[in-house]
């Protein structure tokens, strides 16, 4: 798998404030790459640098293996802030203006991008009549002009209601299936977990971890167990040297094991041989939210 964006030791300061401290990672082609972090972590600064809006103090980044050039820029669509659309114009007319200014794509492409973002039926409606979710989808349509290989989105669901968030989530997944590599900054952990294949987690300008979402999450195995007598089950597993906690809320027991070491059949057999009949046994995937707070609260 080739790399569309490679960052090497990107550092940026605003006076005494260090926004980024030597950040390095690669974005694989075809991925949905989430850049995660709380406010002030450096997400927006990082996107500004790779889009040539800001200048790094040190470090280097490469698009498609080479320093950025105007030709490479044509392969990248971006939404760093909501475009200034004209409220009294239709979606089609607004995109014509965007196209004229940017020089990306041609007139025939406007219908195509409106279909991609599911606004074709509303293309003649005034922008002022659009919901927030529709306005955001039109902004993504503008970024899609010129059929870029890569989309860079800064907080694409910011300020949206649950319906709008779901629409943007589905759109991102659809665009990924159509072959676009998507790089998105977000603080909405649940959304990132649902759509992203890869992730980088930042805190106060430092890169805490990066990689495939499954790799970032699975530093340990978490097994959820249930039995008529939870205390008996807990006592047996603790006697066997296992790390266990009882979740009173769900009435289950959580067994934590080294990554890749869980064997549900073996756990079930050992319990049964010691007179414990399990009524629940599940290998749980660690939530990105739990991993995020585990990293950022240290």
When pLDDT is averaged across residues 287-292 and rounded to a whole number, the result is 64
Residue identified by tokens 């490469």 is 62
pLDDT at residue number 86: 93
Task: Say whether pLDDT at 297 is over 80.
Answer: no
Among the ranges 100-104, 141-145, 209-213, 260-264, which has the highest mean pLDDT value? 141-145
Q: How many CA atoms lie within 13 Å of 289's alpha carbon, on the beta-carbon side?
A: 5
Q: What is the dihedral of CA 289, 290, 296, 298, to 10 degrees?
A: 170
User: In whole numbers, what is the pLDDT of the chain averaged over residues?
Assistant: 87
Task: Say whether pLDDT at 221 is over 80.
Answer: no
Q: What is the pLDDT of residues 129-161, one digit of tens each?
A: 999 899 999 999 999 998 899 999 998 888 888
Q: What is the pLDDT of residues 38-80, one digit of tens each?
A: 888 899 999 999 998 899 999 999 998 888 776 777 789 888 8
Q: Which residue, 178, 150, 180, 153, is CA-closest to 168?
A: 153
Q: Mind giving me the DSSP string for the chain?
A: --EEEEEEEEEEEETTEEEEEEEEEEEETT-EEEEE--TTSSHHHHHHHHTTSS--SEEEEEETTB---HHHHTTEEEESS-----TTSBHHHHHHHHHHHH--S-HHHHHHHHHHTT-GGGTTSBGGGS-HHHHHHHHHHHHHTT--SEEEEESTTTT--HHHHHHHHHHHHHHHHTT-EEEEEES-HHHHHHH-SEEEEEETTEEEEEEEHHHHH-SEEEEEEE-S-HHHHHHHHHHTT-EEEEETTTTEEEEEEETT---HHHHHHHHHHTT---SEEEEEPPPHHHHHHHHHT-
pLDDT at residue number 292: 67
Q: Which residue, 138, 145, 140, 144, is CA-closest to 124?
A: 138
Residue identified by tokens 């990107």 is 10
Q: Exposure of 295 by Cβ count < 10 A (0-12 exposed, 13-18 middle, 19+ buried)?
A: middle
Task: Say whether pLDDT at 294 is over 70.
Answer: no
Report CA-CA distances (Å) from 208 to 41, 175, 198, 201, 204.
Answer: 11, 28, 14, 6, 10
pLDDT at residue number 152: 94
Say which CATH topology domain 3-216 has: Rossmann fold (3.40.50)
When pLDDT is averaged across residues 162-177 and rounded to a whole number, the result is 90
Q: What is the pLDDT of residues 79-88, one digit of tens each?
A: 887 778 999 9
Task: Say whether pLDDT at 106 is over 80.
Answer: no
Contacts of 132 (CB under 8 A, 6+ apart): 159, 160, 161, 164
Residue identified by tokens 């970024």 is 143
Residue 106, Cβ neighbours under 10 Å: how many?
Answer: 10
Strand partners, 27: 5
Q: Which residue, 51, 65, 63, 145, is CA-closest to 97?
A: 145
Question: Which pair of structure tokens corresponds to residue 161?
Answer: 């209601």
Residue 263's pLDDT band (cuts 50, 70, 90): confident
When pLDDT is averaged across residues 272-288 and rounded to a whole number, the result is 82
- Identify which has the larger pLDDT, 29 or 106: 29
Sketch the domain layout of the chain as residue ranges: 3-216, 219-285
pLDDT at residue number 286: 60
pLDDT at residue number 208: 87
Architecture of the structural domain at 219-285: 2-Layer Sandwich (3.30)
Q: Are the folds of 3-216 and 219-285 the same? A: no
When pLDDT is averaged across residues 21-49 and rounded to a whole number, the result is 92
Q: What percent of the chain has pLDDT over 70?
A: 93
pLDDT at residue number 298: 60
pLDDT at residue number 289: 62
């Amino acid at each position: 798998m080739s790399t569309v964006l490679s960052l090497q030791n990107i550092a940026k300061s605003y006076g005494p404030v260090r926004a980024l401290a030597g950040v390095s990672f690669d974005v694989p082609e075809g991925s949905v790459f989430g850049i995660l972090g709380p406010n002030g972590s450096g997400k927006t600064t990082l996107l500004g640098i790779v889009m040539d809006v800001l200048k790094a103090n040190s470090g280097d980044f490469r698009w498609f293996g080479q320093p950025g050039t105007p030709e490479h820029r044509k392969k990248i669509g971006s939404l760093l802030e909501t475009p200034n659309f004209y409220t009294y114009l239709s979606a089609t007319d607004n995109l014509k203006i965007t196209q004229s200014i940017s020089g990306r794509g041609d007139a025939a492409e406007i219908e195509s991008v409106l279909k991609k973002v599911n606004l074709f039926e509303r293309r003649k409606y005034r922008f002022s009549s659009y919901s927030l979710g529709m306005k955001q989808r039109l902004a993504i349509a503008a970024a899609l002009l010129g059929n870029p290989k890569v989309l860079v989105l800064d907080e694409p669901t910011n300020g949206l209601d649950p319906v709008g968030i779901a629409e943007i989530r589905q759109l991102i997944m659809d665009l990924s299936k159509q072959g676009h590599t998507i790089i998105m900054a977000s603080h909405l952990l649940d959304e990132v977990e649902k759509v992203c294949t890869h992730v980088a987690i930042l805190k106060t300008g430092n890169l805490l971890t990066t990689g495939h979402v499954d790799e970032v999450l699975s530093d340990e195995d978490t097994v959820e167990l249930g039995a008529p007598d939870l205390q008996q089950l807990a006592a047996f597993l603790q006697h066997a040297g296992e790390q266990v906690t009882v979740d009173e809320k769900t009435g289950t027991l959580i067994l934590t094991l080294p990554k890749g070491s869980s064997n549900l059949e073996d756990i079930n057999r050992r319990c049964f041989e010691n007179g414990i009949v399990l009524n629940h046994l599940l290998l749980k995937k660690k939530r990105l939210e739990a991993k995020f707070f585990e990293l950022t609260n240290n």
